[in-house]
A and B are shown apart, each in its own frame.
Chain A
Amino acid sequence: MGIEEKLPSGVLLTTVEGVAGYMRKASFWPATFGLACCAIEMMTSGGPKYDLARFGMEVFRASPRQADLMIVAGRVSQKMAPVLRQIYDQMPEPKWVLAMGVCASSGGMFNNYAIVQGVDHVVPVDMYLPGCPPRPEMLIDAILKLHDQVQQTKLGPNRAREVEERENAALRALPTSEMRGLLR
Chain B
Amino acid sequence: MTEDKSPDQRALEESPENAPASLDPEVRAVGVRRGMFGTRGTGDTSGYGGLVQPVVYPGLARRPLEGWHEEVAAALDAALATAGAPDAVEGVVVHRGELTFHVRRDGLPAVARALRDDPSLRFELLSGVSGVHHPDDAGRELHVVHHLLSMTWNRRVRLEVAVPDADPHLPSVVATYPTADWHERETYDMFGVVFDGHPSLTRILMPDDWPGHPQRKDYPLGGIPVEYKGGSVPPPDQRRSYS
| B230, A184: Cβ atoms closer than 8 Å | yes
CB-defined contacts of A152 to chain B, threshold 8 Å: none
A171 within 8 A of partner (CB): no
B163 shortest CB reach to chain A, Å: 24
A181 and B229 contact, Cβ closer than 8 Å, known pairs A78-B207, A111-B235? yes
* Interface bits B202-243 vs A (CB < 8 Å: 1, else 0): 000111001000100001111110111111100110000000
| B222, A183: Cβ atoms closer than 8 Å | no
Within 8 A of B (CB), among A170-184: 176-177, 179-184
| A181, B230: Cβ atoms closer than 8 Å | yes
Partner of A182, one of B210, B223, B226, B230: B230
Partner of B231, one of A114, A117, A181: A181
A112 and B230 contact, Cβ closer than 8 Å, known pairs A78-B207, A79-B207? no
Q: Whose C-beta in chain A lies nearest to the C-beta of B229?
A: A181
* Interface bits A77-101 vs B (CB < 8 Å: 1, else 0): 0110000000000000000000000
| A177, B223: Cβ atoms closer than 8 Å | no
CB-defined contacts of B220 to chain A, threshold 8 Å: 113
| B228, A176: Cβ atoms closer than 8 Å | yes
| A117, B229: Cβ atoms closer than 8 Å | no
CB-defined contacts of B229 to chain A, threshold 8 Å: 176, 179-184
CB-defined contacts of A113 to chain B, threshold 8 Å: 214, 219-222
CB-defined contacts of A111 to chain B, threshold 8 Å: 221, 223-224, 226, 235-236
* Interface of A (DSSP majority class): loop
| A179, B230: Cβ atoms closer than 8 Å | yes
A112→B190 CA distance, assembly (Å) = 14
A114 and B226 contact, Cβ closer than 8 Å, known pairs A177-B232, A183-B231? no
| A181, B226: Cβ atoms closer than 8 Å | no
CB-defined contacts of A179 to chain B, threshold 8 Å: 229-230
CB-defined contacts of A184 to chain B, threshold 8 Å: 229-231
| B231, A112: Cβ atoms closer than 8 Å | no
Q: Whose C-beta in chain B lies nearest to the C-beta of A181?
A: B229
A175 shortest CB reach to chain B, Å: 9
A79→B221 CA distance, assembly (Å) = 17
Within 8 A of A (CB), among B22-69: none
B41 shortest CB reach to chain A, Å: 24
CB-defined contacts of A177 to chain B, threshold 8 Å: 227, 232
| A117, B207: Cβ atoms closer than 8 Å | no
Q: Whose C-beta in chain B lies nearest to the C-beta of A175?
A: B227
Within 8 A of B (CB), among A110-125: 111-114, 117
| B221, A112: Cβ atoms closer than 8 Å | yes
A85 shortest CB reach to chain B, Å: 14
CB-defined contacts of A78 to chain B, threshold 8 Å: 206-207, 210
A62→B228 CA distance, assembly (Å) = 37
A115→B192 CA distance, assembly (Å) = 20
| B222, A112: Cβ atoms closer than 8 Å | yes
B209 shortest CB reach to chain A, Å: 10
CB-defined contacts of B206 to chain A, threshold 8 Å: 78-79, 114
14 pairs, CB–CB < 8 Å, chain A vs chain B: A78-B210, A79-B207, A107-B224, A111-B221, A111-B226, A113-B219, A113-B221, A114-B214, A117-B224, A177-B227, A179-B229, A182-B230, A183-B228, A183-B230
Beyond A113-B222, A183-B229: 16 further Cβ-contacts under 8 Å? A79-B205, A79-B207, A111-B221, A111-B224, A111-B235, A114-B206, A114-B214, A176-B227, A177-B227, A179-B230, A180-B229, A182-B229, A182-B230, A183-B228, A183-B231, A184-B229
B→A interface (CB under 8 Å): 205-207, 210, 214, 219-224, 226-232, 235-236
A→B interface (CB under 8 Å): 78-79, 106-107, 111-114, 117, 176-177, 179-184
